[in-house]
Structure 1
Amino acid sequence: MTTGGGRAQRTLRVRVALAYGLLVLGLLALIISTPFVLSAIAPASTDWGRLSDISQAYGAVSVLLSAVALAGVALSLLYQVRQARTSSEQAIRDSHLQLATLALSDPDLLQAWSPPVAPVTLKRHQQHLITSLALGELLQRFRIGHLSVEKLAVKLDGHFRGEIAREQWEREGSDWRVTMRAGDRRDRVFVRLVDERYQAAIAAGPPLAAGAWELDGSTRTRD
C-alpha cells in the first residue's frame, strides 16, 4: 500500500538529487568555461606567463570546489539510501498492520497468526495485540527520527499508565528484548528506554484499570 508520506518522501529525494546534480553541473561548467572567458576578455598585451602563475593558484581553488561538489553528491547518496530504508520499513509496517487488522476481525485468524504467549481471554489477547502495535508505531517513529529520546520517554510514560500496556510488556517484553537487541543502535536504545519507563511506571503506583476512564472529573467503570 502506497501512503501519502511515502510519495512525499520520494518527491523530496528527487528534489534533493536534482539540486545536487545542478550544483555539480554548475561548478563543472564554471571550471571549464573560465579559461575561455579569460581569453576572450583579456587585452592583447596581457602577460600570459603571469596569468599562468595565477591559474595555478586558481587550480587549487577548483580542486577544492570539486571536492565540495563530490562531498555534496556523497551526502545526497547517503540521504537517498536512508530514505529508501525508511520507505522499505514503512511498507513492511503497512503490511503488518493489514495482517493485524485482518486477524483482529476474526478470532480464528487471530489464533492462527498471533497466538498468545500464555493462556488469556480472547478480548485481552486482542487488547495486548493493539498495545503491541502501538509500541511498534512508536518504534517506527523513533527509527526515522520523528521522536527524540525525550519525546519517546514522554510517550512511553503515557503508554504505561494503563493496565493493559503493563500486562502486555510483562508478558511479551522478553521477546521484544531479544528482537531489538539483535537490531541496530536505535533498536537497542528503544527497548532499553521501554524497560526503564515500564519500571518507572510500576514504581509510581497502580495502573489505570482496564474499563475505567475519566468523565466529568470522576472515575467511572464500564459495566
Structure 2
Amino acid sequence: MSQRTERLGVLSVAVISLVVSVAALVAAGLSLVYQAQQTRLVRDESMRNHHRELLAMALDDPDLRVSWGGTIAELPEETARQSMFANLIVTWWNSGYMIKDMSDGQLSLLLDSFFRGEVGREYWGRAGQGWRDAAQLSKSKRQKRFVSIVEAKYQSALAVHS
C-alpha cells in the first residue's frame, strides 16, 4: 500500500469519526432540549394541581376563601363559589391550550358556550383584567393568544347578551 493510500485511509477514518461524534452531540443536545420541555410540563402540571387544591379548599370553606383577597371575599356565597368554579374551568382550558392539546377552534367553541351563561360572563368581567395583566407580563406568545381569544369571545358575547 502506498503512503498516499494509507493517508487517505487514515483521513477517511478521521472524517467518519468526526461525523459520528457530531451526530452524537446533536442527538445529546436534542435529548436535553426534550428533557427540559418535559421538566417544564411536569412543573406546570404540579403548579396547576396545587392551584386546584387551593381552590377546592376555598370552595369548601368560606373562611379560607377570603385569603384569596380581591373581590371574591365580597361576593355572596353562591356567586363566589360559581366564580371560583368558573376559574377552575378557564384554568383547565388554559392548561390544555398551553400544552397544545387544544386548538384555537376548540377553545373558541368552548368559550361560545361558556359565555352564553351569565356566570361565565360575570366571571370574566371580574377576572379578565387579571388574566390580561398576567398575559401582558408573560413571555409566552401562546398565553397572550389564549387571553386574546377569551377576550374576543367575551366581547362578542357581551354584544349579543347586552
Q: If the length of structure 1 is used for normalisation, what is the TM-score?
A: 0.64
Deviations 1:75-120 (A, max 9, x none): 1111111111111111111111111111111122212335525843
Contact 1:117/1:172 (<8 A) preserved = no
Q: Tell me whether 1:154 sits opposite 2:120 in the alignment.
A: no
Q: Secondary structure at the match of 1:160?
A: helix
Residue 172 of structure 1 corresponds to which residue in structure 2?
127
Q: Which of the numbers 55, 62, 73 marks the counterpart of 2:17? A: 62
8 Å Cα contact 1:117/1:171 also seen in 2: no
Relative distance call for 1:59 and 1:189 in structure 2 (3 A) is same
Q: Deviations over 1:175-211 (max 9, x none)?
A: 11111211122221111111112123333x339xxxx
**In the alignment, which residue of structure 2 is the partner of 1:50?**
5
Indicate if the aligned counterparts of 1:103 and 1:109 stay in contact, CA closer than 8 A.
yes
Deviation at 1:48, TM superposition (A): 6.5
Cα drift, residue 74 of structure 1: 0.8
Sequence identity of aligned pairs in percent? 30
Residues 153 and 197 in structure 1, CA contact (< 8 A), matched pair in contact too: yes
| 5+ long unaligned stretches in structure 2 | none
More helix by proportion, 1 or 2?
2
1:86 aligns with 41
Return the offset for 1:53.
0.6
Partner of 1:123: 78
Give 1:96's aligned residue: 51
- Counterpart CA distance in 2 for 1:64 and 1:149 is 42
Contact 2:73 2:80 in 1 (8 A): no
For 2:143, the aligned partner's letter is: D
Letter in 2 for 1:72: A
TM-score normalised to the size of structure 2? 0.86
**What one-letter code is carried by the residue in structure 2 that aligns with 1:61?**
I
Could you tell me which amino acid in structure 2 is paired with residue 186 of structure 1? Answer: R
Task: Render the CA deviation track for 1:147-186: whole Å, top value 9, x for unaligned.
Answer: 2333322332232222111111011111111112111222
Q: Is 1:159–1:165's contact at 8 Å kept on the other side of the alignment?
A: yes
Look at both structures and tell me which one has the larger radius of gyration over its CA atoms.
1
CA distance in 2, matches of 1:47, 1:88: 61
In the alignment, what sits opposite 2:118?
Answer: 163
Question: Between Structure 1 and Structure 2, how many residues are aligned?
Answer: 161
User: Unaligned 5+ residue runs, structure 1?
Assistant: 1-45, 208-223
